Structure 1
Amino acid sequence: MCGYCGNVTSYALGDAAVGEVLERPLAEVAAMVRESIASIDYDEYLQELVDWVVGHKTEKTVFASFPLDTDFGFGQAALAMPIWDHGKMGCGTLAVGVRPGGDGSWLVSAYIWPRMAAALESDGVFKPLTAAYLGLV
């Protein structure tokens, strides 16, 4: 990867039964996620990813080819995050980003089943993403 310069987002995937996730404490579920991330040979994986990106390179950048208009009638959005559907039964996706304003906290956009959302929301570490939380009001 010497000499590569660019932006790419990669994902680590892991599988677990719903019951297994629901019956474990949050710390153990986090350990399962950490294991999925740590089990990857990143040198090989990222080299394959860079090779794929170089092989599929176009003249456009993602942002040039993906124009956003986030004005829904009450002004431009302060934050826009992507969402996607992998099309898998029981699949969940978490997109992690830095909160605007630079206080060190993260924004986690979750595309998950309602029961999984309820389990996460019951944990005090998660806060709803509101205008007040973003400092807009």
Structure 2
Amino acid sequence: METSRRTAPAPKPLRHNGVAYGGINVLMLWAASMEQGYNSPFWMTYRQAKELSEAQRDKDEVVRQLRDVEKQIELLLERIIDAEHASVIKAYESKIAKLEREKLLLAEKVDRIVPPKGRLEEFF
């Protein structure tokens, strides 16, 4: 007597933001998944992929700027240690305060850069 093998149903196809597809799209995407051997249930259009890529590129640029500001602050702190005149130290401290404000603004900007319609990495 032969028993039939049961397999788990394929996961419902999801948009890049985690929202499930509906209707005929489910069947079309399941068929494409099986035909191409895709394991991920996530799908997106070219435009959505481009928007996600641009958001990541923007975030990477701001993170680079943030690192540059942190390096400048470190260099100024080293100069303060070597400085002998109070007026020079005061000028360095003023510059550090300005850079710290810039650093806060950049950190907030990084947090605000969100890919359109959700974060893909939240679903993995």
Same fold (TM over 0.5): no
RCO higher in structure (CA 8 A, sep ≥6): 2
Structure with larger Rg: 2
Richer in helix (by share): 2
